[in-house]
Copies of this chain bind each other. A is one copy, B any other.
Amino acid sequence: MASRVTDVYLNAITSTRGSVIESNDAATLGQPEQDCERIAAKIGIRSRPIASADEYTSDLALRASELLLPVANGFREEIDALVVCTQTPDHLIPGVSSVLHGKLGLSTSCFVMDMNQGCSGFIYGAQMLGALIKSGMSQRAVLVNADCYSRLIRPDDLTTRVLFGDAAAAGMFSTTPGGLKLLYSKCYSDGSGYEEFIARNSGVRQDVNVRSGIFMNGPGILNFALRVVPEAIEAALGETGLALDQIRTIAFHQANSFIIGKLAHKLRLRVDQVPQNCETLGNTVSASIPILLQSEMANLRSGDLVMAVGFGVGLSWGVAVFENTVAS
């Protein structure tokens, strides 16, 4: 038996964000204005959207998805896979994707699942939905990346509070030509570093002797990213036969400007290759790459190549390469 290789397209992306805007300023952080200014300048994050008291991950996921359905190819009834990537689900049982499936009124003939991934979640999601489509198990699959990290951040932990924003992005992957054609994706992991970024007392394990919430080893994550990301990009270029200067846009996970700047410098990238949006969004976890791609897609010409690079909690990382197929 033989079959044609199926091409996978990311046709459209939509997004939404938490309803409250929090600034990295003295009034919010309770620190001297001078210190706040120094921090904001270094990380390149001035303000961040945060979920309001009655807003949860399922609300952001629903808003992003409701924006997507009218602009994506095809009909609601044709969606045969809905995957929500989140680390901050409303409930452990059932997943956000179940709530979303019901509220969107999708067909029962649909693969519906939450996946748990952080800052590499868009690459992992693209790989997974790409596999479902290439294997013939799906023709039209929605990936939602949604998180409300603010629920797990201690207000007095400035090392994480100044970084993270709450947002959601929804992307339509399908066999229908249009948008970004997926040329390559590869996911990596190193679980020996799982404690570098961990949310204590967030699951069913309760450790009474530790404070609850997110703990981040910032320097550890920085060193990890500077080590593994260039290697993974090198591998992607080798596999696709491309050179770095042929890539029009490199959509790095928007961890913060400091780390993106270090990566760009190490890889000798041109400034115009490395768009950023974290100044007013912060690090929106797995939604950060699709939100950046959403705005970048408007500027692309047909044939332009785009690389997406995720890295973070797990530890995990991954690279995807797309070719734009729509003339601007």
Residues of chain A at the chain B interface (Cβ within 8 Å) = 1-5, 56-57, 82, 87-95, 97-106, 108-118, 124, 127-128, 130-132, 134-137, 148, 151-152, 185, 187-194, 197-200, 202-205, 214, 228, 313-316
Q: How far is the CA of A87 from the CA of B115 in the complex (A)?
A: 11
Do B93 and A204 touch (CB < 8 A)? no
Do B94 and A190 touch (CB < 8 A)? no
Known: A2-B3, A94-B191. 15 other contacts (CB 8 A): A2-B4, A3-B3, A87-B95, A90-B203, A91-B199, A91-B202, A93-B313, A94-B313, A95-B314, A99-B191, A108-B228, A112-B189, A114-B117, A130-B135, A131-B137
State which of B88, B190, B315 has its C-beta within 8 Å of the C-beta of A204: B88
Do B113 and A95 touch (CB < 8 A)? no
Chain B residues contacting A97 (CB-CB under 8 Å) are 116, 191
8 nearest A-B pairs in the assembled complex, by CB-CB distance: A101-B191, A102-B191, A112-B189, A114-B116, A134-B135, A93-B199, A151-B204, A92-B202
Q: How far is the CA of A102 from the CA of B57 in the complex (A)?
A: 29
Chain B residues contacting A148 (CB-CB under 8 Å) are 204
Q: A57-B204, A148-B204 are in contact. Are A87 and B93 (CB under 8 A)?
A: yes
State which of B95, B105, B188, B193 has its C-beta within 8 Å of the C-beta of A116: B95
Q: Nearest Cβ in chain B — how far from A238, in angstroms?
A: 13
Do B204 and A56 touch (CB < 8 A)? yes
State which of B2, B93, B131, B198 has its C-beta within 8 Å of the C-beta of A5: B2
Q: Give the number of times this chain occurs in the complex, counting copies.
A: 2
Q: Nearest Cβ in chain B — how far from A185, in angstroms?
A: 8
Chain B residues contacting A152 (CB-CB under 8 Å) are 92-93, 204
Q: How far is the CA of A148 from the CA of B151 in the complex (A)?
A: 24
Q: Nearest Cβ in chain B — how far from A53, in angstroms?
A: 10
Interface centre among A4, A115, A191, A314, by most chain B C-beta atoms within 10 angstroms, is A191
Chain B residues contacting A93 (CB-CB under 8 Å) are 87, 118, 152, 197-199, 202, 214, 313
Do B88 and A92 touch (CB < 8 A)? yes
State which of B89, B94, B135 has its C-beta within 8 Å of the C-beta of A92: B89
Nearest chain B residue, comparing its CB with the CB of A214:
B93
Do A94 and B131 touch (CB < 8 A)? no
Do B190 and A101 touch (CB < 8 A)? yes
Q: How far is the CA of A191 from the CA of B90 in the complex (A)?
A: 14
Q: How far is the CA of A301 from the CA of B103 in the complex (A)?
A: 46
Q: A87-B93, A116-B116, A204-B56 are in contact. Are A103 and B1 (CB under 8 A)?
A: no
